[in-house]
Amino acid sequence: MPLRFTNTLSHAKEEFRSLDPAGKLVHMYTCGPTVYRFAHVGNLRSYLAADIARRVLEYSGYDVYHIKNITDVGHMRDDLLDQGEDKMLMAALQEGKTPWEIADYYTQAFRKDEERLNILPAHVFPKATDHIPEMIAITQVLLEKGYAYEVDGTVYYDVSRFPDYGKLSGNRLDKMQAGYRVKVEQDKRAPEDFALWKKSDPGRMMKWDSPWGEGFPGWHIECSAMSMKYLGEQLDIHTGGVDNIFPHHEDEIAQSEAATGKEFVRYWLHGEHLMVEEQKMAKSAGNFYVLQDLINAGFPPLAFRYLCLTAHYRSKLNFSWDSLTGAQTALNRLCDYLADWDDPGDLDEGWRRQFLDAISDDLDSARALAVVWEMVRSDLPSSSKSALLLDFDRVLGLDLNKVERRERDLPSDVVDLINERETARQAKDWAKSDAMRDRLREMGVEIKDTPRGPEWKIIRSGVTR
């Protein structure tokens, strides 16, 4: 079953083909967190989408080498909310710690959140502060090739030198307006140009020596340097949230392709926002939740994972406590079914093909979940259902393999009563059959009559005699 992804670059659904000559290895990069605060659940939805992509690739037989960076350098971000402050320094001042202590604390918190959501750990989590030489090296190449210029210790990328600028986001140079950023540095040649290296302000704590004096890297150059160090000059897949498309990923393309002369990324996958009461989650809106908030409210982390699976990653998903409750209820039902079913038996290939067809179509987790529930309600033997559900969970990531089986052996008198009832049923003695069904239910056993004969499940622990 071929995998198909909606590629942001082409705005079309494309069949996936690895750059690997053998067609088995996939190089995948995910934009990781800026570690000056806890990741909110909207951020985590983006990482869950990347996790599903990786799981689907591995489920389909690919070997994935996954890199997820840690941005532990403060930046002057060009968006409306940040107002240009150094995030790491601001967090350090507020919490009475050094920027390095802040970064380490929130890195560990992020890794813990991913573990609680059963997100497969990346093979490498490179830190920006460990890769300053690689960033300087790319900046030097861009200067040598004429794609960048230096002004008093700050190096800018000259957007006008890259004709393909805007091919990812649609923000073509001829349509961009001066002043689209909150702060336009006066030393730039053009407002669209972006910093590769910034001159350090007096008193700045996180700074490094460079050929242009003390300073720190621009935000975009970090991902180019770290992704190319571990994955090479060309990547199969690059993931992130839709808010990364511009300017971050657009600038990554410009600087990377100018430096190497090669296509940087083959498939760009972007996940949509998690909404709260139809608004984007943001601290300023007062609708900002972290995973611990959900846990404190009594919800297991995997209930949030299930909730994210109910919507396509490229669709907005509205978060509410009611929707989270519904997700937890559905997850509990799956666990209850699995606990009662027989041990895994044969894997039904027909159902497996249906699931694979759904999830291979642009990671359509909502459609895949529909297949799961259709299978659960089918007349398949419970052993086959167990095998399928555990197989599907290699993609869903709901930790269903940890569900404990309920007691399978029934007391002999209960078994005798089931057999006696079946004899009555075969004799069409419906009154006796119904009375015995009621008696079995009182004893904690529910009977379902099927063409294959009676099937039973324990509906409460401690079956009575």
For residue 426, the tally of other CB atoms under 10 A from its CB is 9
Question: How wide is the angle at C-alpha 409 spanned by C-alphas 404 and 413, nearest 5°?
Answer: 145
Asked if 147 and 161 count as a contact pair (C-beta separation under 8 A), the reply is yes
The CATH number that domain 4-271 falls under is 3.40.50.620
Is the peptide bond preceding residue 344 cis, with omega within 30 degrees of 0?
A: no
- 352 SS3 class: helix
For residue 320, the tally of other CB atoms under 10 A from its CB is 12
- 60 SS3 class: coil
Q: What kind and span of H or E run contains 366?
A: helix 365-376
CA distance 121 to 117: 11
- pTM of the entire structure? 0.85
**What is residue 351's predicted lDDT score, i.e. its pLDDT?**
98
Calculated CA dihedral for residues 167, 169, 174, 180, nearest 10 degrees = -150
The residue type of 270 is H
The DSSP bridge pattern shows strands 4-7 and 274-276 to be unpaired
Q: 360-401: per-residue pLDDT in tens?
A: 999 999 999 999 999 999 999 999 999 999 999 999 999 999
**What is residue 408's predicted lDDT score, i.e. its pLDDT?**
62
Residue 157 CB partners (closer than 8 Å, separation 6+)? 142, 147, 148, 193, 194, 195, 196, 251, 254, 255, 258
Q: 284: which 2 tokens?
A: 């300023």
CA distance 136 to 216: 10
Q: What kind and span of H or E run contains 151?
A: strand 148-151
Task: State the 10-residue block means of pLDDT for the chain, 465 residues long.
Answer: 95 97 96 93 97 98 98 58 55 76 94 98 98 98 98 97 96 66 69 95 89 96 98 98 97 98 98 88 80 97 98 96 96 92 93 98 98 97 96 98 77 82 88 90 84 72 44
Which DSSP letter does residue 279 get?
A: E
Q: 18: which 2 tokens?
A: 């690895």
CA distance 317 to 339: 30
For residue 428, the tally of other CB atoms under 10 A from its CB is 8
Architecture of the domain defined by 276-402: Up-down Bundle (1.20)
Burial of 80 (0-12, 13-18, 19+ CB in 10 A): exposed
Burial of 90 (0-12, 13-18, 19+ CB in 10 A): middle
Q: 19: which 2 tokens?
A: 């750059």
**What is residue 462's predicted lDDT score, i.e. its pLDDT?**
47
Burial of 144 (0-12, 13-18, 19+ CB in 10 A): exposed
Q: Domain coordinates of the chain in residue numbers? A: 4-271, 276-402, 412-458
The residue type of 34 is T
